[in-house]
Amino acid sequence: MSLLILGGCGGGKGADPVVEAFGIAYIKRPLPDNPQATTDVRDATAFNAGGDLFYRDLASAGARERNITFRETGGLGDVRDVESSFDGSKLLFAMRAPEIEGADPEDQPTWNIWEYDIASDSLRRVIASDITAEDGQDIAPHYLPDGRIVFSSTRQRQSKATLLDEGKPQFPALDENRDNPALVLHVMNADGSEIRQISFNQSHDLDPTVLDSGEILFSRWDNMGSRNQISLYTIRPDGTELRIRYGAHSHATGTDGAQIQFIQPREQEDGRVMAIIKPFSGTDPGGDAVLINTEDYIDNEQPTWRNQGVLSGPAQTPATINPVDTDPAAPSPGGRFMAAYPLWDGSNRALVSWSPCRLVEGGRIVPCTRERLADPGAEAAPPLYGVYVYDMASNTQRPVFAPQEGIMISEVVAAQSRTRPEILSDKVSGVELDPDLAEEGAGVLHIRSVYDFDGAFNGLGSGAAGIASLADPAQYTADQRPARFLRVVKAVSIPDRDLVDLRGTAFGRSSQQLMREIIAYAPIEPDGSVRIKVPANVPLAISVLDKNGRRIGDRHQNWIQVRPGEELTCNGCHDHRGGLPHAHSEGPPPVNSGSQTTGLPFPNTLNSLFTDFGETMAQTRTRIDATALAPSVDIEYEDVWTDETAAGRPRDAAFAYSYSGAGFTTPPPVATPCLSAWDVSCRIVINYEDHIHPLWGKDRGADTCTACHSPTDAMGNPRVPEAQLDLSDGASSDQPAHFTSYRELLFNDNELELNMGALQDRLVQATDGNGNPLFEVDANGDPVLDASGNPVPVMVTVNVPPALSAAGARASEGRFFSLFDDGGTHAGRLTPSELKLIAEWLDIGAQYYNNPFDVPPP
């Protein structure tokens, strides 16, 4: 459809253009045919031919425009993520060469980091080597104050090294949607050398920028399990001190509470962060420009702890007076912003890429008015993104130069000198980092108390008044403490389909948890503290367990990491539904204040475990006994605390759930050396066919599971399996990629009956909501009669619910684990160690496979 453009209706075309004494760089590209459908912030390496980087010596319509990347792209490549150096003399950006006609996707050019020197008009690829440059997709570069460069990349350098240690081939792991390789943060020298991975998310870490403090602020796509949002995080340039900075509970802050994501964060001179908020996709493809007070708030209506009761929000305020709508289905009265770059010149202004609100009316493009927007049939016109200077003091907006139809300015920055942020030097082994741990490739996780929920004591049903009473062996035995062990879980890297063709059946009942490995277990001390060694440079999650090794509460839905030699300390646990600040430097103080003395034991505990002031019990134990820092692949408990005389009772009984004990004779899901000594390479990898299914056929005499739970008796005669549960060998008729036993345990099934020597689905007459029997009717609603003239009943199968739940062991108590309790019908038929294996497998997701390279080809 041809459109007539009305002059003066472009939202700022008629305003006087600005003239500023600084240069500007901007990315100009053809407008996509369908901007709504082709733009998704999660598809960060998408290639759209025709994007180039332009520069003007002055922010003025009269200044000469020069295309500085055409010499490399020929107008057929693409550019994104432009950034200016702190002195305004250079530009960093990502550029991709043109498509190679007929080449396979893996043979196409990759995104590379380039640098442009403005004074000399020279352009260079930062990584000079073709082989090294093509080793991954590199985007979103930003200068660090010490001259190095942080960027987002699919290189996953340290993650690939870990894959080799695990006996797997090197490959870039896919994001948790299994769409594209995950982009994570890396740091390199200015000449492209010494590339190091510093973040280990399983989905994207994007848009790194540097705060005045020297910390890197970036947009993290949290996409674990049921979580799916982009929030703001910080990290040091060496990869230590990864923390949420803002937004975990602030995504329902779009128009009318619509879900938005936080992208393109940049710090202003006043310390607030300017960002673009928009949905994952749509909105032509802009959003709203907002200012966020991340110093005093962790969420829009949640101030930091020191501001509790003082501030109430909101932390987010619009950066402009434009009434921007973030609903992709609706035109936005105030237009939309595609980029915003705050100026550091004391003027409280920003460069923005903005498109006015425009509609198509009678084949013409017209400006939005209240009356036109009220028309239900209003049709949005193609966006017209141009460069403007927005003055936040006077709320005025002036164009730098006139926008062009069919062209959009997707990014803009100022080549302007600004204050250089603080330099955060890399932490040094032997100074800030533990040298022995660093050498081992490990770090330490220290939780002060798992009974600390967002700064408040939660006894988890124990009835205890507080941590001090719960920790006192004279007041509480171990069995009276709900939290007994910590499980550390690791993500499994998922390869692309060219390497391993993973079908949904490989994940089992649900793919929400993808695949998981268990790193190790450690006991939780009486005060709820735990301090354990964990592998560095891998994505980790944790679960708190009861005495039986079954998860208490929800799954941990955020990946954490430690760098070699780093100790990560958490105050406690977090209820995401509560909305309180967590894992934040300005969060609530710890509930567990630790020992109030030095040189004395905790109340009613052994004198040999003497404390230092402020120590948790875990800190005391691991300081005195360094071997207690090492976790185990087994669950092991020994009461090392109770002073029998002082506490007036015996010590609590020791126990273990072991893969190598007499009660465990099926194949263990862990390498043999790890059974005796844990190290950072140990992994518990549970595949259903290899480790869970053998339990059902294990010879237990008359108590062998398949002696009752099979479709034939000992003589080979057909029968209804006991409790309608078939645990026998063989592929399922419902899904041949799964064993029958897996489907029977985790999926709904039909009740069977024996009819003339054959098993068949049992049918019963259906009833309505009031319990009345139902009969067949014809097209006219009249009853259908049989040969005897009787109404034909509606017959339906009888559902048999699954015995197990992929939601976890505790969700499987009623129909499975309770049968094995003392006094249960199956008491003693499975050993405690076998029950622990089933519980840990359910808690991590009940996957069919937890190693993609164990999956047979389809």
The reported pLDDT for the residue numbered 34 is 75
Residues in Cβ contact with 270 at an 8 Å cutoff, skipping those fewer than 6 apart: 348
The amino acid at residue 254 is G
Q: Which amino acid makes up residue 501?
A: D
Longest dimension (CA), the chain: 100
Q: Token pair of 726, please?
A: 């078939």
Write out the two tokens for 437.
């741990």
Q: Please answer whether residues 265 and 219 qualify as being in contact, where contact means their C-beta atoms are separated by less than 8 angstroms.
A: yes
Contact 184, 538 (CB under 8 A): no
What 3-state class would DSSP assign to 725?
coil
Question: Which DSSP state fits 425?
Answer: P
Nearest-angstrom CA–CA distance, 202 and 490: 11
Do 482 and 461 contact (CB within 8 A), yes or no? Answer: yes
Q: Identity (one letter) of the amino acid at 358?
A: R
Report the distance separating Cα 623 and Cα 612, nearest Å: 10
Closest CA to 578 of 482, 453, 458: 453
The residue whose two tokens read 């031919």 is 49
Question: Residues 277, 142, 173, CA angle at the centre, nearest 5°?
Answer: 75
622 close to 434: Cβ distance less than 8 angstroms: no
Taking the C-alpha atoms of residue 258 and residue 277, their distance in angstroms, rounded to an integer, is: 11
Query: Which H helix or E strand runs over 835?
Result: helix 832-843
Task: Please name the helix (run of DSSP H) or strand (run of DSSP E) that holds residue 839, with its range, or none.
Answer: helix 832-843
pLDDT at site 587:
77
Instruction: List, edge to edge, every strand of the sheet that includes 336-342.
Output: 336-342, 349-355, 386-391, 396-399
Provide the residue type at 387 as one letter: V
Residue 3, pLDDT score: 41
Specify the DSSP class assigned to residue 213: T
Retrieve residue 457's tokens.
């004591």
Q: Are strands 4-5 and 364-367 parallel, antiparallel or unpaired?
A: parallel
Sort residue 88 into left (φ over 0), alpha (ψ -120 to 50) or beta.
left
pTM here is 0.94
Q: How many residues does the chain have?
A: 858
CA angle 70, 74, 77 (to 5 degrees): 90
| Tokens 């009861």 found at | 546
CA distances from 94 to 45, 69, 81 (A): 10, 11, 6
Which stretches in the chain have pLDDT values below 50?
1-14
CA pair distance 58, 64, nearest whole angstrom = 8
- pLDDT in the model for residue 10: 38
Structural domains in the chain? 4-101+108-415 (2.120.10.30), 435-484+524-657 (no CATH), 763-797 (no CATH)
Q: How far is CA 142 from the centre of its chain?
A: 23
Give pLDDT, residue 21: 85
* Cβ neighbours for 260, distance < 8 A, ≥ 6 positions apart: 251, 253, 254, 277, 278, 279, 287, 288, 326
d(CA 576, CA 554): 10
The token pair at 69 is 């990347």
- DSSP code of residue 784: P
Contact yes or no for 271/212 (Cβ under 8 A): yes
